[in-house]
Structure 1
């Protein structure tokens, strides 16, 4: 199976795989950051938007939202969920927009889908070009130095007569700019059990390195990975929310 085959072929199961994600809380948290640090504009772009659940919340909150993803099946689902939005099939490491954007988001650690440092730099450049003066770029990230290869998350969900078990975890070899997201999906019913295993190559970066990449373009604020309260990053945890104001 190719690197992205599972993501493409199981696009119809993506929402089931993410059923435990609190999309409203995540979206509301970024709205609060936008109110505090942003420029009061309402144009919004979600990078790696997937099937569009975050977009739905921003549209309902009054934003003029757009979605970008590299996966057309995901965009097809997103367009049904958010018919008001404009969607674009583009790579976030090198994208263009029709007009300036006030808020750009990238949820669910998707910034790491820029599979190498040069692509991450290109993504940051593209974001900076697309933003209005004082525009905001918000995303979450994981520090490569804090990755525990033995940790993974697991949940189950039922769809019709099928029981799905989803597992995912980060893996980093301890050096270099490559890490991966390892995924396992098991689909079981009374007749059979099927298992898909896949591994997504992603960029590995420390927070020190990431801040250095962002600093020439943005005023960078880093917060604890907590969507309920706003707390500055303690410089110890390996997950954080980055709030970047266009300089």
Structure 2
């Protein structure tokens, strides 16, 4: 199955796949970080917004929030969730905005969907261009050197008479700038099982490399991947929350 086929063909299952994610806690944490590091402005863009749950929370926080994604079925669902928001079909590595923004977010490790170092650089440059002075770019990332190929997250959920099991895990070969996200979905309806598997190519960086890519454009702050409290990154853990203030 091609990289985008899973999300295109099964976009209706995306929210089930992410049912264990606390979107409100994530959104509120980034709102607090924006209050600490940014201005009082409320113009917000969510990159790789999917079906729009983070956009929904930022609207409820009082932001003028919008989203972009490369998947139109996702955007159609986002528009239903957030009818007052604007959504655009764009590549986060080469996007444009009509007016400068105060906050740009990229949740769920989606920055890695850049896929290659050159495209990641283009994404960073596009974000910098789209932000106002002192605007904030906030995203989470995984350090390639800390990936455990044997670690998978798994959850189950029942929906419309079917039981679903979702599994995801990072895979890194140990060298280079390519890693992947391996996904699997099982659906059981009246004893009949269907299954899908996909592997999404991702860009691989360590946090030192990532900071070096960001620092020509931003003042960079790295925190532990904890949405309940603000704790500086200890330099060892493999998940981080990046807060980048435009130079």
TM-score, length of structure 2 as denominator length? 0.99
Matches of 2:16 and 2:62, distance apart in 1:
27
In the other structure, the counterpart of 2:214 is: 214
After TM superposition, which residue ranges in structure 1, 4 or more long, deviate above 6 angstroms? none
Matches of 1:84 and 1:209, distance apart in 2:
38
In the other structure, the counterpart of 1:156 is: 156
Matches of 1:160 and 1:88, distance apart in 2:
30
Instruction: Tell whether 2:176 aligns with 1:176.
Output: yes
In the other structure, the counterpart of 1:145 is: 145
Instruction: Tell whether 2:88 aligns with 1:103.
Output: no
Q: Deviations over 1:124-181 (max 9, x none)?
A: 0000000000000000000000000000000000002100000000000001110000
Matched pairs, number: 247
In the other structure, the counterpart of 2:62 is: 62
Q: Deviations over 1:174-210 (max 9, x none)?
A: 0111000000000002241001000000000000000
Matches within 5 A, 1:17-32: 17-32=17-32
Matches of 1:125 and 1:222, distance apart in 2:
19
Offset of residue 40 of structure 1:
1.1
Q: Deviations over 1:2-22 (max 9, x none)?
A: 121011111000001101100
In the other structure, the counterpart of 1:119 is: 119
Matches of 2:232 and 2:49, distance apart in 1:
26
Unaligned runs of 5+ in 2: none
In the other structure, the counterpart of 1:235 is: 235
Q: Mean alpha-carbon deviation: is it higher for 108-117 or for 186-195?
A: 186-195
Matches of 1:190 and 1:90, distance apart in 2:
39
Instruction: Tell whether 2:223 aligns with 1:223.
Output: yes
Instruction: Tell whether 2:39 aligns with 1:39.
Output: yes
Matches of 1:163 and 1:138, distance apart in 2:
35
- Secondary structure class of the residue paired with 1:103: strand
In the other structure, the counterpart of 1:133 is: 133
- Secondary structure class of the residue paired with 1:235: coil
RMSD: 0.5
Unaligned runs of 5+ in 1: none
